[in-house]
Structure 1
Amino acid sequence: MANSIEWQELSKKGLWSNNPALVQLLGLCPLLAVSGSVVNALGLGLATMLVLTSSNIAVSLIRKTVSDAVRLPAFVMIIASLTTCIELLMQAFTYELYTILGIFIPLIVTNCAILGRADAYASKNPVLPAAWDGLMMGLGFTLVLLTLGAIRELLGSGTLLANMHLLLGEAARDWTITVFADYPGFLVAILPPGAFIITGFLIAAKNVIDKRLQERAAARKEKPVKGSKRVRTTGNIA
């Protein structure tokens, strides 16, 4: 069973230091293609997170019974089955959003982040740590999607949270926030080139933050402890 330090390390890796979108650069195809708005980003992010967490649990459960010869095919079958379940649920409850996301829901099967976590972590660890690893990795991916979707929607159409009823029902129909009234729109932000540019800025911002954190940590180590004094000892000469 993992201790509290290991849980914290898994959380830190999934959300920041080993984020699948900003560090591993995995799953970029759907991330860049459907993150034109918050609702699209949230829908794809939640679907990916559910598949990632569930597949980690399933892989961890069978880790001692599957041989190395069929390990990867078994993982792919698990991920494909779970993706199909998510796809059917979206068709039943969020059909309009499902039609917007289109082929990128089935493409969750080919997301390297999911297969990578199944092989690198879930296949070697117990169920609870594997589930937490999948949840944190999925959450980190979803947060990047949401950030990218919010920026693209704001720059592209001047609104936030538009069409949230497609995912959350009629109660969210009036959640639209108009940030810029009579905004002509910035087409590049909504198109794939805008996604590439904004993603590049997000990666650069993370690298800058990491560098400053490392510099502060190094400065704290080099800074002498306040009030400390060196004690000199002298011996008596007989």
Structure 2
Amino acid sequence: MSDVNYQEITQKGLWGNNPALVQLLGLCPLLAVSSTVVNALGLGLATLLVLTSTNSAVSLIRKYVSDAVRLPAFVMIIASAVTCIELLMKAFTYELYQILGLFIPLIVTNCAVLGRADAFASKNKLIPSAVDGFMMGMGFLLVLVCVGAVRELLGTGHLFADMQLLFGESARSWQLNVFGESFPNVIFALLPPGAFIVVGFLIAGKNVIDAKLKARADAVKEQAAKGSKRVRTTGSVA
């Protein structure tokens, strides 16, 4: 890519080509561990760091790796990044790492990570590739947090419980009791089928918003075309 549009990269990562809502990648961990905000944040931040670091590394070696070993090399880079993140979590957020369990190592198999490495980072310079990985990771993180917030709120009646697992003891007081003790907890929301339904509503909401934005843009174009045609007709008559 000779001309890099960072605004387009940002828009695609956060909305237009969101890994979870558009590409529908990484749904297995998304459905499994997003029962609370802290779980969603833990997995989302790990995925974001892996995407950013692997995109950067792949971009740096893109001219020195032949097509025959390109994909195996990318997988090795991803596995190395995931191993580093896993060791960091074991060192600083061990209890959260135990909760997330196997889904941290399984980031290696997340098609969004390998997909961005092959589709973007292998064809672009370092900074655009790092920005692309960061924005794709941020888009995935935001969806995870939204799903986690909805599920935690419906399932327990509060938000931001156990945040000390990620941010230390000072975050223990962050919990918000939104609905109070009398709220009838919807246990179904904490189960994987509940996550599936929440994600479905998010995808449906995005599609509705996209349809309205497209209709508005088409109306503006049509109005502009009519105005241009009117100007040309007036000029020819004159």
Fold-level similarity (TM above 0.5): yes
Cα distance between partner residues in 1 of 2:55 and 2:236: 58
**Distance verdict in 2 for CA 1:136–1:186, change over 3 Å:** same
Deviation at 1:171, TM superposition (A): 1.2
Name the counterpart of 1:49: 48
Gaps of 5+ in 1: none
Number of residue-to-residue matches in the alignment: 232
Q: Give the root-mean-square deviation of aligned CA atoms.
A: 1.5
Cα distance between partner residues in 2 of 1:66 and 1:211: 42
Name the counterpart of 1:221: 221
Query: What amino acid does structure 2 have at the position aligned with 1:100?
Result: I
| Correspondences of 1:80-95 after superposition (within 5 Å) | 80-95=79-94
Q: TM-score, normalised by structure 2?
A: 0.94
**Residue 205 of structure 1 pairs with residue 202 of structure 2:** no
Name the counterpart of 1:35: 34
Q: What are the Cα deviations for residues 195-228 of structure 1, in whole angstroms up to 9, with x where unaligned?
A: 01110000000000000000000111112449x6
Deviation at 1:184, TM superposition (A): 3.3
Cα distance between partner residues in 2 of 1:172 and 1:184: 26
Name the counterpart of 1:195: 195
Cα distance between partner residues in 2 of 1:2 and 1:205: 35
Deviation at 1:114, TM superposition (A): 0.2
Name the counterpart of 2:159: 160
Q: What are the Cα deviations for residues 160-185 of structure 1, in whole angstroms up to 9, with x where unaligned?
A: 11110100111111000001111231
Query: What amino acid does structure 1 have at the position aligned with 2:198?
Result: I
Cα distance between partner residues in 2 of 1:145 and 1:225: 45
Cα distance between partner residues in 2 of 1:47 and 1:85: 10
Gaps of 5+ in 2: none
Name the counterpart of 1:124: 123
Please tell me whether the aligned partners of residues 56 and 134 of structure 1 are also in contact (alpha carbons under 8 angstroms). yes
Cα distance between partner residues in 2 of 1:225 and 1:158: 54
Q: Based on CA coordinates, which of the two structures has the bigger radius of gyration?
A: 1
**Residue 112 of structure 1 pairs with residue 111 of structure 2:** yes
Query: What amino acid does structure 2 have at the position aligned with 1:49?
Result: L
Name the counterpart of 2:134: 135
Please tell me whether the aligned partners of residues 2 and 129 of structure 1 are also in contact (alpha carbons under 8 angstroms). no
Deviation at 1:231, TM superposition (A): 2.9
Q: TM-score, normalised by structure 1?
A: 0.94
Cα distance between partner residues in 1 of 2:52 and 2:235: 56
Name the counterpart of 1:58: 57
Cα distance between partner residues in 1 of 2:173 and 2:184: 22
Q: Once the two structures are aligned, what percentage of the paired residues are identical?
A: 69
Cα distance between partner residues in 2 of 1:2 and 1:134: 18
Q: Which one has the bigger helix percentage?
A: 2
Cα distance between partner residues in 2 of 1:31 and 1:201: 14
Q: Secondary structure at the match of 2:79?
A: helix
